[in-house]
Amino acid sequence: MWRHYSGRVLPRITATAYLTPLREGGSLPAIMEADDLGTYVVKFSGAGQGTKALVAEIIVAGLARRAGLRTPELALIDVAAEIARTEPDDEVQRLITASVGTNLAVDFLPGSIGFDRGFPVDRAIASTLVWLDAWTANVDRSLRNTNLLIWHRELWAIDHGACLRFHHAWGRPESFAEAPYNYGDHVLSGRADPRGVHDQLAARFDEAVLDAILADVPDAWLLPEPERPDPAAPPDPAAARIAYRDYLLARLAAADRWLR
Ligand SMILES: Nc1ncnc2c1ncn2[C@@H]1O[C@H](COP(=O)(O)OP(=O)(O)O)[C@@H](O)[C@H]1O
Ligand SMILES: [Mg+2]
C-alpha cells in the first residue's frame, strides 16, 4: 500500500552499488542499491537538467500523493565517487563524478511495465492525474512518453522533473498561473474530466499543506544556481519555498484559465 502524505522529511540513505543505467529517459537515471537494502531509481543532481528537475520531482510527487495518486516513495541518497570506479561507461562515470553527494532516490517498482492504452484506468484516477498535470504544467505525459507505470494492476505516476517550468526563469507569477495547458498532448485526457474534480481537489491544497510538502526539498537544491544566473530567482531556500507555494496557489486561483 502506498504511503499517504504525512509531511515528514525524506529519509536519507547511502548508495552501496550501481546496478544499471536506464536509457529510456533523457537524464540517464540508474538502478542502484542502498544501505537500507532497498533498490532505487536514482536521479542524479549532476544531470543536464540540474537540481531543479529534482526539486520538481519532490514537490509534484508530494502533490500527487496528497491528491490520492500512486507514486513511488522518495528518499535522498548519498552517492560517493567510488561507486563509479568499476563502471566502464564514460558517460556514467562523468555523471556520477558530477553528482557526488545528495541525489534523489525513487523506490524501484520491480516488475512494473510501461502504461499501454489497453489498460483500464478508473475515471476518477484519470481525472485526478490530468488535473494534477495541468496544474503543475507537466509536459511529460504524452502517448509516446507516458511516464506512467502499471504495477500490481494499479497506475503509478513517475518522472515529474519537467513540471513547474517557472523555476527556470522566475518572473511574473501570472504568466505561469494563467498559462493554458495542452490537453491534446496528454495520454489520458480523453478519459478524464479535470473540471469535474477541481473543487474537491483544490480544497486539499492550502498554504500549510504546501509548506509541509516543500519542507521535503533539501535547502541545497533551493539556492540560486551560479551557472544559470536568474536575477529574479529567490535569494535563499526560505524565499524559494514561499515562491513555489505562491506560484502554485496563484495557478489554482486562476483555474478558469487552464481548466478544461
Ligand atoms: N520507480 C521506478 N520503478 C521502475 N521503473 C522505473 C521507475 N522509475 C523509472 N523507471 C523506468 O525508468 C525510465 C526512466 O525514468 P524516468 O523517471 O522517466 O527518467 P527520465 O527523466 O530519464 O525520463 C522510466 O521510463 C521507467 O521505464
Ligand atoms: Mg521519463
Q: What is the pLDDT of residue 66?
A: 98
Provide the pLDDT for residue 6. 39
Mean of pLDDT values over 102-108:
98
Q: Atom 14, ligand 1: which residue's CA is nearest? A: 25
Dihedral angle, C-alpha 112, 76, 226, 136, nearest 10 °: 50
Say yes or no: CB of residue 163 within 6 Å of ligand 1: no
pLDDT tens-place string over residues 175-203 = 999 999 999 999 999 999 999 999 999 99
Average of per-residue pLDDT across 202-220 = 97
Span of 48-62, 80-94, 118-132 with lowest mean pLDDT: 80-94
pTM given for the model: 0.96
Q: How far is the CA of 29 from the centre of ligand 2 (A)?
A: 9
Largest CA distance in the chain: 54
Q: Is the CB of 145 under 6 A from ligand 1?
A: no
Q: pLDDT band at 1, cuts 50/70/90?
A: very low
**Mean pLDDT, all residues of the chain:** 94
Q: Please report where in the chains the cell 550501481 appears, as a residue.
A: 18
Reduced to 3 states, what is the DSSP secondary structure of residue 39?
strand
Q: Hey, is 20 helix, strand or coil?
A: strand
Give residue 51 CA to ligand 2 midpoint distance, Å. 16
User: Exposure string (b/e) for 246-259, b if CB count within 10 Å is 16 or more?
Assistant: ebbbbbbebbeebb
If pLDDT is split at 50, 70 and 90, which confidence band does 8 have? low
pLDDT for residue 224: 94
Element (H, E) at 123: helix 123-135
pLDDT digits (tens, 9 = 90+) for 34-59: 999 999 999 999 998 899 999 999 99
**Mutation test of ligand 1: which of 19, 20, 22 has the most ligand atoms closer than 8 Å to its C-beta?**
22
Is residue 44 within 6 Å of ligand 1 at its C-beta? no
CA distance 65 to 25: 23
